[in-house]
Amino acid sequence: MSISRRDFLKASALTTAATIIGVESLVDNKIFAAALQEGIVWHKSVCRFCGVGCGVMLGVKDGKPLGIKGDKENTINAGLLCVKGFYLHKVITAKNRLLYPLIRKNGKLERASWDEALNLVAGKFKEILEKNGPDALAYYGSGQAETEESYLAGKLFRGFIGTNNVDGNPRLCMASAAGGYISTFGADEPIGTYDDIDYCDLFLLVGTNTAEAHPVIFDRLVNRKKKSPNCKIIIIDPRKTPTNKIADLHIMVKPGYDLAVLHAIARLLIKDGYADEQFIKDSVVFSNGKDPISYDDYKKFLEKYTPEYAAEQAEVQAEDIIKIAKMFGESPTAMSMWTMGVNQRTAGVFLNNLIHNIHLLTGKLGKPGCDSFSLTGQPNACGGVREGGTLTQLLPGHRSVGNEQHRKEVAAIWKIAPDKIQPKVGKHAVAMFEAAAKGEIKGLYVLCTNPAQSLPNLNKYIQGMKDAFLVVNESFFPTETAKIADVVFPVAFWGEKEGVYGCTERRSQYMAKALEPAGEAKWDGEVIIEIAKRMGYAEGFQYLKTPEDVWNEYLKFTAGKDMDLSGATYDRLKKLRGLRWPVPNTNHPGTWHRFTKEDPFFPKDKAGDKRMYFYAKPEGKAVIFARPNKGPEEPTSTEYPIALTTGRILEQWHTMTMTGQIPELLRANPNPYVEINPKDAQSWNIQNKDKVKVSTKRGSLVMNAKVIDRPRRGTVFIPWHWPESLTNILTNDAVDAVSKEPEYKVAACKIEKA
């Protein structure tokens, strides 16, 4: 908003007069508010926290962050923010900002110059490369890094150093969702968008505490339910959460035993006539995971999954499963949403497939109000990592390491020899840190993440990280990882650099640089480019002067691909509130539903009359999978009789490097705790606030008991945020066979009074 000096003076005079004569001012407060904000510039950006992608406006005056407000022009949140986003500007000036480079000398991290730190890293990486080969080096990135940063790191490690040891923390949260989308539909990321929420009559929430983990989406669900009284919400989760306040039906499944429930729902949908037979005929094939099977084979496979059988498996009521199937079948529209309760499982990809199955069976896809929609945990896991190609098996632009043609395409843009990119997939996250623990990986570059707190079964991996030459790009200090690093680069935080984030709904959004970086901090991209230059790879990096240069090079990888971002130039993104790919040219508005006539790549000639054509699959057909009913890797036992599940709370985010700096957020839950069902607490003789010791095969922690009617009986829940109580000492590092995502959500534990 701008006002003229004339308006301002007029208003000022009027107010002064009104004050003098003692009457209530009738002048426009807006003008005064704006006047007071003279010199404040509001910069359009995207929230730094979860994957929802809320638009925010960062107010800056005299080079300092003054405030934050929701961006009301942004259709994702329409001005609304959650409690984390609300305090985002305070994180910029938090006391724990790292202001200068650190190098470990004589066992201690000491202040160093940029030159010294960069030369040390480049020299050490080069030495490891020459002595031990490229696979002795690894990059571990983040779904919080900007796309430009992730892209640059992938380019350096794959294209110039020559290793596919390129992975990141989305392996720990979204890899199973990506695996599910790719195996079922042939391409990663959802078919629909948030817009579908506003048309949906039935939400199936599986393993998601939407109210706390994605509050702005929760608000959209609340609004939808308010507007449409017939709208129903079903929850499948082992725990009651604040999301339950809007639920119509909740089944509290035993952790790790919900696959049978999804199969039972699929069986009932077919049996009770809710299947869309024409859609199945047009757009679906069936598979047992190895070979194609027929529709009849699939029906035979499902016969075992009666509601009673599934109920026995999951320890829920059969009639509730019948109700869910009926509600899903009868509802004209339906959206499923899920997060870590589905993904962080050794059956994570299977469970993703089974959710997709019920949408494919009923044709509830690719039309307003219908989608099988994964909620993303981090703000740029979709954009920078899944699209930018920084998971070990991926190359930029939804390409695969294993595909020779894809490697050639990438090599051509990077102007490197085609065989420079290895054809073999590198180490995924857990394997990468396992290799460091074994001494096989000797140099590790960690960017914008905190694996020394976030990896599962932490005790197994910390020493390996200490032994390796560990380099960390961080905005904050200390973090658990930075504390054990050999070199820590201070990097610009959100608001101090420009770049692009790609959120849950395929939307890429530009974030402005509003401030100069704190202290000596630099843009992560500049750090990567400097390391590359000092390692002798200047020709591949020195022409990339700005984030926009990097983005423009990255766009070349997307041209003609299912995730075409050619029309999402910086110029456009600066003006718009993001664009949802495919957006193949600068006149294109972006796409609501993929694989339908709305999609610019929809092949009308091949599709004929079919409503959906999954062009990333050979026959244009999505796959319904008859997946085995896999349980958790670590079932409860006589020694460890209680199921342990871990997760998030509203006020904190991941390892608390950001939200842990905000006193207001800390006040909500100042200390680590374990949630215990009141009936269990009674039988275990535990009172609220008692100190208890929680133990798994991997370790023990002492914390407060929070006796609360949330977890189902026989299950306890621990939030994983507090660095002083590392929950991941307890969690299991067994991984999904396909996605390699660890099973944070289910372990076996025991509890005793401390």
Partner 1 sequence: MKIKIYSIVFITVAVTFFLGFTNSNVHSSSSKLLGDKHPDVDWTIGCVDCHQETTPEIFTAWSNSKHGTSGFGCYICHGDGQEVFYKKGQDNTCLGCHSEKEVNYKNLKVKSCFDCHNGHTLKFHNKGE
Positions marked catalytic:
84, 173-174, 340, 377-378
47/314 with CB nearer partner 1: 47
- Give CA–CA dist 112/123, Å, rounded: 16
Helix (H, G, I), strand (E, B) or coil at 112: coil
Distance CA 93, CA 675 (A): 33
Q: Residue 454 Cβ, how far from partner 1 at the closest point, in Å?
A: 23
Shortest distance in whole angstroms from residue 694 CB to partner 1: 19
Write the binding mask 30 to 49 for partner 1: x where contact by CB under 8 A, - elsewhere. Answer: x-xx-xxx------------
Range in contact with partner 1 (rule: CB under 8 A) among 198-206, 207-215, 449-457, 745-753: 207-215
Is residue 80 part of the contact set for partner 1 (CB under 8 A)?
yes
Q: How far is the CB of 225 from partner 1 (least distance, A)?
A: 11
What is the b/e burial string over 325-337, where b = at least 16 CB atoms within 10 angstroms of the residue's CB? bebbbebebbbbb
Closest distance of CB 242 from partner 1, Å: 5
Q: Is 493 in the site for partner 1 (CB under 8 A)?
A: no
Taking residues 658 to 697 in sequence order and writing x for each that binds partner 1 by CB under 8 A, - otherwise, the string is -----xxxxxxxxx--------------------------
The answer to whether residue 237 forms part of the interface with partner 1 (CB under 8 A) is no
Backbone dihedral region for residue 715 (phi beyond 0: left; psi -120 to 50: alpha; all else: beta): beta
- How many C-beta atoms surround the C-beta of residue 68 within 10 A? 23
Q: Residue 231 corresponds to which amino acid?
A: C
| DSSP, res 369 | T
Taking the least distance from each CB to partner 1, the nearer of 30 and 408 is: 30
Considering only the stretches 12-20, 310-318, 569-577, 731-739, report the one whose residues sit in contact with partner 1 under the rule CB under 8 A.
12-20
Stretch that binds partner 1, among 67-75, 117-125, 427-435, 580-588 (CB under 8 A): 67-75
Radius of gyration of the chain (CA): 26
Closer to partner 1 by Cβ: residue 37 or 552: 37
Rule CB under 8 A: is residue 318 a binding residue for partner 1? no
**Residue 66 binds partner 1 (CB under 8 A):** yes
Nearer residue to partner 1 within complex by CB, 209 or 715 = 209
Query: What is the smallest separation between the CB atom of 447 and partner 1, expressed in angstroms?
Result: 29
Query: For residue 468, what is the DSSP state?
Result: S
**For residues 79 and 699, which CB has a smaller minimum distance to partner 1 in the complex?**
79
**Region from 63-71, 134-142, 288-296, 614-622 binding partner 1, contact rule CB under 8 A:** 63-71
Q: Is 604 exposed, middle or buried (0-12, 13-18, 19+ CB in 10 A)?
A: exposed
Tokens describing residue 701: 């922690």
177 within 8 A of 349, measured Cβ to Cβ: no
Of 65-73, 124-132, 182-190, 348-356, which part binds partner 1 (CB under 8 A)?
A: 65-73
Beta carbon nearer to partner 1, 278 or 688? 688
Q: How far is CA 122 from CA 137, 405, 492, 639, in A?
A: 12, 31, 20, 49
Residue 67 or 714: which CB sits closer to partner 1?
Answer: 67
Nearest-angstrom CA–CA distance, 167 and 421: 15
Long-range contacts from 687-691, C-beta under 8 angstroms, 24+ separation: 690/753, 690/754, 691/753, 691/754
90 is a site residue for partner 1 (CB under 8 A): yes
Q: Single out the residue of 122, 622, 624, 650 in contact with partner 1 (rule: CB under 8 A).
A: 650
Q: Give the residue with the Cβ less far from partner 1, 35 or 318.
A: 35
Minimum Å gap between C-beta 543 and partner 1 is 40
Amino acid at 659: T
Give dist(CA 586, CA 437) in Å, integer: 48
For position 222 contacting partner 1 by CB under 8 A, the verdict is yes
Of 146, 651, 675, 733, the residue at the interface with partner 1 (CB under 8 A) is 651
Q: By CB under 8 A, tell whether 754 contacts partner 1.
A: no
- Phi and psi angles of residue 138, each rounded to the nearest 5 degrees, phi first: -150, 150
Question: Is 246 an interacting residue with respect to partner 1 (CB under 8 A)?
Answer: yes
Supply the minimum distance, in Å, between the C-beta of residue 724 and partner 1: 13
What angle (nearest 5°) sits at the alpha carbon of residue 62, between those of residues 61 and 65?
50
Among 393, 428, 399, CA closest to 411: 399
How far apart are the C-alpha atoms of 754 and 750, rounded to whole Å? 12
Give, to the nearest 10 degrees, the angle between helix 259-271 and helix 307-314. Answer: 170
Residue 77: phi, psi to the nearest 5? -120, -10
Can you tell me which of 7, 75, 79, 289 binds partner 1, judged by CB under 8 A?
A: 79
The 3-state DSSP class for residue 500 equals strand
577 binds partner 1 (CB under 8 A): no
Binding region for partner 1 (CB under 8 A) out of 68-76, 143-151, 620-628, 635-643: 68-76
For the bound state, the minimum distance from the C-beta of residue 65 to partner 1, rounded and expressed in Å, comes to 8
Measured from the CB atom, is 20 or 685 closer to partner 1? 20
Nearest Cα residue to 715 out of 672, 754, 686, 679: 679
The count of chain residues that interact with partner 1, using the rule CB under 8 A, is 60
The closest alpha carbon to 593, from 576, 613, 610, 578, belongs to 613
| Amino acid identity at 344 | Q
8 A C-beta contact, residue 79 and residue 57: no
33 vs 737 by CB, closer to partner 1: 33
What residues line the site for partner 1 (CB under 8 A)?
9, 11-13, 15-16, 19, 24-30, 32-33, 35-37, 57, 59, 65-72, 78-83, 85-87, 89-90, 211-212, 215, 218-219, 222, 242, 245-246, 650-651, 663-671
